[in-house]
Amino acid sequence: MEIILASASPQRKELLKKILKEFKIVSADINENIAGKQSDAVKVAEKLALLKAEVVADKYPEALIIGADTVVELDGILYGKPRDDEEAVRFLKKFRGTIQRVITGIAVLCEKKNIRLVDSETTLVKMRDDISDEEIENYVKIGEGRDKAGSYAVQEKGDKFVEWIEGDYYNVVGLSSAKLRKMLKEAKERWDLGIDLSP
């Protein structure tokens, strides 16, 4: 069975390689404007992941589509990808010394077989409180954190901003491998799919 990752994220691609031997990538363009106060960050992350999967499933109804989307939540406010460097600096200054919730929604679906699994993983991230404005501005200037929810990436230079992580580290990178593996295993068993999961 053909499996498609509905994301152009290089981090998600690398993480998926640990679970699946074969898959292809088809980028899903959706409106990810989620800035501002939201009642349920988990629902927003799951909805965005599902939207991404649905966009690709329309073109590939027989394939198993994996959609994922990450949001960062602090004090009831959701932060997606920054619009520009100025906004990225603003995000990072706001996160300084705080604990954020990093939530990645995951959707697994196949139109033809009526498969629709949606879940999410939440990880807590504590940002150092002694990060200088200059450090933040230099980080943003070199392009790190661009195209990342909340403007930082733990697998790159942004990890120097992080004091501790509680929960699934890979969820902050962009995809909870453990959660996705569990969802794919469920889909394989419930719908008798011919997919080859790595051990």
Q: What is the pLDDT along the chain (199 residues), one digit of tens a residue?
A: 999 999 988 999 999 999 998 999 999 988 766 655 556 899 999 999 999 999 999 999 999 999 999 999 999 899 888 889 999 999 999 999 999 999 999 999 999 999 999 999 999 999 999 999 999 999 899 887 777 888 887 765 457 899 999 999 999 998 999 999 999 999 999 999 989 998 7
Residue 195 falls within a domain, yes or no? no
| pLDDT score recorded for residue 42 | 93
Q: Which two tokens stand for residue 5?
A: 């990752």
Q: Which of 29, 58, 69, 84 is catalytic?
A: 69
**Could you please report the per-residue DSSP string of 46-104?**
HHHHHHHHHHHHHH-TTSEEEEEEEEEEETTEEE-S-SSHHHHHHHHHHHTT-EEEEEE
Residue 199 falls within a domain, yes or no? no
| pLDDT score recorded for residue 5 | 98
Question: What span, in angstroms and rounded, lies between the C-alpha atoms of 140 and 35?
Answer: 19
| pLDDT score recorded for residue 144 | 73
Residue 110 falls within a domain, yes or no? yes
Nearest CA to 7 out of 99, 129, 105, 126 is that of 105
Residue 161 falls within a domain, yes or no? yes
Question: What span, in angstroms and rounded, lies between the C-alpha atoms of 78 and 58?
Answer: 28
Residue 37: domain span: 3-190
Query: Residue 94 sits in a domain of what CATH number?
Result: 3.90.950.10
Q: Does residue 29 carry a catalytic annotation?
A: no
Split into its structural domains, the chain has a count of 1
Residue 196 falls within a domain, yes or no? no
Q: Which two tokens stand for residue 189?
A: 């068993």
Name the pairing type of β-strands 115-127 and 162-166. antiparallel
Provide the β-strand partners of residue 69.
Answer: 105
Longest Cα separation, the chain: 54
Residue 198 falls within a domain, yes or no? no
| pLDDT score recorded for residue 115 | 97
Residue 57 falls within a domain, yes or no? yes
Which pTM was predicted? 0.92
Q: Which residues does 163 contact at the CB level (< 8 Å), separation at least 6? A: 126, 127, 128
DSSP 162: E
